[in-house]
Amino acid sequence: MPYEGEHQRRATGPLFESYDMDLDAVVARIRGRAGTKSVGLQFPDGLRDYATEIERILAAQTPGVEYVISADPSYGACDLALNLQRLGVDLLIHFGHTEMPSINHLFDWDVMYVSARHKLDVGPVSAAGARKLSERTNGGKRVGIVTTAQHQHKLHQMADAMKREGFEVFVGAGDNRLAGLGQLLGCNYTAGTSIEEDVDGFVYVGSGDFHPIAIAWGTDKPVVLADPYSGEVRTLDEVMDRLMRQRFAAIQRAKDAKAFGVLVGTRVGQERMRLARGIKKMLEQKGHEAHLIALDFFSWDNLQYFRHLDALVNTSCPRITTDDYARYPMPMLTPPELEIVLGKRTWEEYAFDEFKGTKPRPEERVVRL
């Protein structure tokens, strides 16, 4: 990036050694947008440490523009800092996530998405992931790749490393909640289901269990995690077994519940009020007490005032239910889990709570790399 002097030194610090972010494009967008006086900056946790550093770089190239940094958590493109609009911010720069086209009609504001593309070499760990998947599938050679926004630009590097070892490689196109091929969200795995019939299993290139858990739950195919940060390569079998036990226990506890809180997230891409209303009606038809409870930030501090309720049903991000279940003294369920409690589906029909886009996957859903 062509920054000079002090800004060049800052731009080659730890952040830019690890990530490639096109700040030139941000500067051009701000300069080219007539009448821009105030710009909001929003970051996920992994980038928030560098917020003031990035502001210094942008401010040096855009004199006269005010910058407002959001200090609230950001969990994805579904979680835009729309509250900054009330402060007179003209343009929001959302770092670290790719656009979520299906929610664009839900707000009237100028938002620019800036990907943080990691510079890691993902070839060796991708090949190791394919080998592990082959072991898990008794010699299967047809691999589906799924990954996150940080590594999506390296799909061909992943595929080339696998193909050199004799694997056939596929990526899928999901619905319009996703911005590109092979992308996996914790709430949407349509890039995987679009190629489920074409592959023996999936290799997830990225870190953390939440994203690959979604596709492991949503398909009948095995999933291997290949972590480019740690070099770890493993199946999700143990993780899934432990998580399923936890979910089974929550469902069993909720079968004795009489009073339910139906939680509605107010963040722009996580609000499902129509679903929540349907759940409340369904509970009341079954003779239960039900209350609609809306909140922006999910925590026991905010929900402790409803501790007299017996169970909670979360219609917002499913990660809250699966990751934070231990923080709540009463069972918290996803909508499909509530259907099991109410006898509308069996445990054998367990389904992950998936957020679908507003448009189905395209006809050309399979890409062979």
pLDDT digits (tens, 9 = 90+) for 288-347: 999 999 999 899 999 999 999 999 999 999 889 988 888 999 999 999 999 999 999 999
Question: Is residue 8 scored above 50 in pLDDT?
Answer: no
Q: Name the domain boundary from 118, 142, 172.
A: 118
pLDDT band at residue 14 using 50, 70 and 90 as cut-offs: low
CA 86-43-62 angle, 5° bins: 70
The three-state secondary structure class of 70 is: coil
Q: What are phi and psi of 63, to 5 degrees?
A: -60, 140
Q: Can you give the pLDDT at residue 75?
A: 87
Provide DSSP, 25-39. Answer: HHHHHHHHSTT--EE
pLDDT digits (tens, 9 = 90+) for 164-209: 999 999 999 989 999 889 999 988 999 999 999 999 999 999 998 9
Whether 368 maps to a domain, the answer reads no
Lowest mean pLDDT among 15-24, 71-80, 111-120, 360-369: 360-369
Question: Is residue 251 scored above 70 in pLDDT?
Answer: yes
Whether 326 maps to a domain, the answer reads yes
CA distance 95 to 225: 25
- What is the dihedral angle through the alpha carbons of 332, 334, 336, 338, rounded to the nearest 10 degrees? 30
Question: Is residue 3 scored above 70 in pLDDT?
Answer: no
CATH value at residue 18: 3.40.50.11840
Segments forming the whole domain that contains residue 88: 5-118
Whether 21 maps to a domain, the answer reads yes
Q: Can you give the pLDDT at residue 1?
A: 35
* C-beta separation of 310 from 258 below 8 A: yes
Q: Do 229 and 285 fall within a single domain?
A: no
Q: Do 298 and 342 fall within a single domain?
A: yes
Q: Which one-letter amino acid corresponds to residue 157?
A: Q
Residues whose CB is less than 8 angstroms from the CB of residue 316 and which lie 6 or more positions away in sequence, other chains included: 263, 264, 265, 267, 270, 271, 272, 298
- Helix, strand, coil in percent for the chain, rounding step 5: 40, 20, 40
Q: Do 16 and 111 fall within a single domain?
A: yes
Q: Do 224 and 127 fall within a single domain?
A: yes
CATH value at residue 174: 3.40.50.11850
Q: What is the mean pLDDT of residues 9-13?
A: 45
Whether 266 maps to a domain, the answer reads yes
How many angstroms separate the Cα of 79 from the Cα of each of 165, 297, 360? 40, 11, 22
CA distance 310 to 329: 9
Q: Do 142 and 207 fall within a single domain?
A: yes
Q: Do 69 and 172 fall within a single domain?
A: no
The three-state secondary structure class of 311 is: strand
Q: Can you give the pLDDT at residue 98?
A: 93
Whether 367 maps to a domain, the answer reads no
Within a 13 Å sphere around the CA of 173, how many CA atoms are in the beta-carbon half?
Answer: 11
pLDDT digits (tens, 9 = 90+) for 252-305: 999 999 999 999 999 999 999 999 999 999 999 999 999 999 999 899 999 999
Q: Do 163 and 211 fall within a single domain?
A: yes
Q: Name the domain boundary from 103, 118, 133.
A: 118
Q: How many residues does the chain have?
A: 369
Q: Can you give the pLDDT at residue 13?
A: 55
Q: Do 134 and 230 fall within a single domain?
A: yes
CATH value at residue 314: 3.40.50.11860
Whether 280 maps to a domain, the answer reads yes
Q: Which one-letter amino acid corresponds to residue 242?
A: R
pLDDT band at residue 73 using 50, 70 and 90 as cut-offs: confident
Residues whose CB is less than 8 angstroms from the CB of residue 305 and which lie 6 or more positions away in sequence, other chains included: none
Question: Is residue 9 scored above 70 in pLDDT?
Answer: no
CA distance 224 to 106: 35
Q: Do 210 and 300 fall within a single domain?
A: no
Question: Is residue 238 scored above 70 in pLDDT?
Answer: yes
Q: Do 158 and 194 fall within a single domain?
A: yes
Whether 369 maps to a domain, the answer reads no
Q: Do 142 and 42 fall within a single domain?
A: no
Whether 22 maps to a domain, the answer reads yes
Can you give the pTM of this predicted structure? 0.88
Q: Can you give the pLDDT at residue 324?
A: 87
Q: Which residue has the higher pLDDT, 233 or 351?
A: 233
Count how many domains the chain has: 3
Q: Name the domain boundary from 81, 99, 118.
A: 118
Q: What is the mean pLDDT of the chain?
A: 91
Q: Do 32 and 128 fall within a single domain?
A: no
Question: Is residue 95 scored above 50 in pLDDT?
Answer: yes
CA distance 88 to 272: 28
* C-beta separation of 351 from 291 below 8 A: no
Residues whose CB is less than 8 angstroms from the CB of residue 360 and which lie 6 or more positions away in sequence, other chains included: 175
pLDDT digits (tens, 9 = 90+) for 348-360: 999 889 888 887 7
